[in-house]
Amino acid sequence: MIGLPANWGLELSVLNFRCGRYAAGAACAVVSILAVNGAWAQEPPAVDAAQRSAQIQEEFQALSGAAEKSRFLLSTDDGKGITFADILRDPDNIVLNFRWAKAQMAQGNIRGASSTLERILILDPDLAPVRLYYAIVLYRLDSLDIAKAQFEKLRALPISPDVAAQIDQYLDAINKRRQRVKQTLSVSFGVHYDTNRNSAPSDNERMVLGSLQTITNTEDRHQSDFGYMGAAHYDITYDLGYQAGHDVFAGVTGYYDDQVRLDNLDVGTASFEIGGHWRSPYLTITPTLIQTAAELDNEKFLTSRGVRVRADWKFRPDTTLWGQTSYFDERYGATPDSSALPLRSGQRYQGKTGATYTWDNQNRTTFGLTLARKEAARSYYTYRSVGAELSHTLLLAGGKYVMGSFSYGVDQYQQPDALVTGNTPMTRKDYPLRARLSYGSNVGNLLEASWFGSDIGQDIYQFIAPVSWSITEEYQATSSNIANYDYDNWRTQLLLSRRWAF
């Protein structure tokens, strides 16, 4: 998925209740933050990984002026329509081989592209652009020793300062990736506007003891509001030294959402996780232990402890099948606004499965199914749910991206709540829907280095250029057979994020 990182453990979707629905809106803000900021993902981050794949073409262009023959190679198409049968008919055709390598890259077959580029260099070892492209592919394949040797060969050639700087960046990245201990710090700040921040019923009616009543209290009707949010995540990973790349990791996350007017909906969370990655050529298994504490209006109301196990199987070069199961023990505490919250305490079981398909270097689609059961201290808070989500990421030139997702599900509760439905046997059934579209890039695309002069100005530019920005529009709604839980909300969000690796 291109969206919430698997090892963050912010399991706040459990806040699907009356007071909890208010907090759930803020939990969605956490999800939005993590989805648009690809740099916060693990293994490497999905957007970052996809961006690196797209940037290979841009980095290859940097050497296009090295020789006339290189310029001719770069003028070829993207390889569409080329097959291996074409290569067999003319195996020594450099241009044909290069087009085939580009086709393999577009299909996600990185290893195949590596072999094809190696064959081109055997035919003509003096093609510096191909050697750079080959070195970048090796870097992506984690063949760091061979990639370093290729970069060093290129570094010794008479190349432009810009290309030399790119190669130095890759050599520095290789040295960092060889470190046994890796650390990352990510920080985000943003602002959002909600049309129905308090999740008030759509028709301004609620059911009490089986009778519909009009909501007359202004504070309980639709309330729009602005909010300011901040989040930080620190992650440390230790490589166990195996060739397969097994590692262990730990991370801590903090988040706070401050409402301008509706202070009773201010939400803060703190989460800690520890786990590891077991890797084989086609399968990665990630077990994680997670603890999360959340507060509403500066009152602690939720402590969640649990475990999650995820498996990713590289079914084909362009297709990854994945599955995830989790268990959480959720304990709610009473707050001044709701003394009944402890009745929602209990266990939550969840299973997810799906597939991610990489169409080419710029397009990736993920489809997933979710089954969950929440057991609570009272049966009218116990429910089963099933849902599906479809998401897509489109990468554009210059590091820009568009991300969209759509999800729909059904939550079926176990028993009626007599305080709501009275003597009627009506059991709550919700149909949650969520649609989101984000567009983002980095600040460097909006600025020119020359605007900042030299020395201190350039230091400022180097600091702010990697900052990513995104704007998100989101629609969230729940259709319910009980008016109390039937609502919708539009959210507009602007986010700035910065990530450091050391």
Instruction: Quick: pLDDT tens for 55-71.
Output: 333 333 332 322 333 33
Residues 255 and 316 in one domain: yes
Residues 101 and 200 in one domain: no
Q: Count of CB atoms within 10 A of residue 68's CB?
A: 8
pLDDT at 11: 33
pLDDT at 44: 28
Residues 446 and 481 in one domain: yes
Residue 150 covered by a domain: yes
3-class DSSP assignment, residue 265: helix
Looking at 101, 129, 159, which one is the last position of a domain? 159
Residue 352 covered by a domain: yes
Residue 198 covered by a domain: yes
Phi first, then psi, for residue 290 (nearest 5°) are -135, 140
CA nearest neighbour of 129 among 66, 78, 77, 54: 66
Contact of 304 with 330, CB cutoff 8 Å:
yes
CA nearest neighbour of 267 among 56, 438, 27, 6: 27
Looking at 127, 159, 191, which one is the last position of a domain? 159
Q: Sign of the C-alpha dihedral, residues 249, 303, 208, 424? A: positive
Query: What does pTM read for this prediction?
Result: 0.71
Q: How many domains does the chain have?
A: 2
Residue 405 covered by a domain: yes
Buried b (16+ CB within 10 A) or exposed e, 233-244: bebebebeeeee
Residues 6+ apart with CB under 8 A from 232: 185, 186, 187, 188, 253, 254
Residue 371 covered by a domain: yes
CA nearest neighbour of 199 among 296, 268, 256, 265: 265
Residues 45 and 128 in one domain: no
On average, the pLDDT of the chain sits at 79
Residues 26 and 85 in one domain: no
Q: Which residues pair with 337 in a beta bridge?
A: none
pLDDT at 429: 96
Residues 343 and 431 in one domain: yes
Structural tokens at position 375: 């057991």
Residues 200 and 155 in one domain: no
Residues 401 and 429 in one domain: yes
pLDDT at 10: 32
pLDDT at 86: 67
> What's the CATH code of the domain at 329?
2.40.160.40
The C-alpha angle 389, 392, 395, rounded to 5 degrees, equals: 160
Residues 148 and 235 in one domain: no
Domain that holds residue 433: 18-50+180-501
pLDDT at 244: 82
Residues 23 and 89 in one domain: no
pLDDT at 161: 73
Contact of 348 with 327, CB cutoff 8 Å:
yes
CA nearest neighbour of 215 among 203, 199, 197: 203
> What's the CATH code of the domain at 82?
1.25.40.10
Residue 7 covered by a domain: no
pLDDT at 404: 92
Residue 220 covered by a domain: yes
First-residue to last-residue Cα distance in the chain: 26
Question: How many Å separate Cα 450 from the centre of its chain?
Answer: 33
DSSP state of 132: H
CA nearest neighbour of 312 among 323, 328, 325: 323
Q: Is the bond preceding 466 in cis, omega lying within 30 degrees of 0?
A: no
Residue 169 covered by a domain: no
pLDDT at 66: 29
pLDDT in tens, 269-310: 999 999 999 999 889 999 999 999 988 888 888 899 999 999
Distance, in Å, from the CA atom of 331 to the CA atom of 307, rounded to the nearest integer, reads: 15
| Ranges of the chain with pLDDT below 50 | 1-77
Residues 112 and 205 in one domain: no
Structural tokens at position 315: 């079914």
pLDDT at 218: 82
Residues 37 and 67 in one domain: no
Residues 6+ apart with CB under 8 A from 335: 19, 296, 297, 299, 301, 341
Distance, in Å, from the CA atom of 104 to the CA atom of 78, rounded to the nearest integer, reads: 10
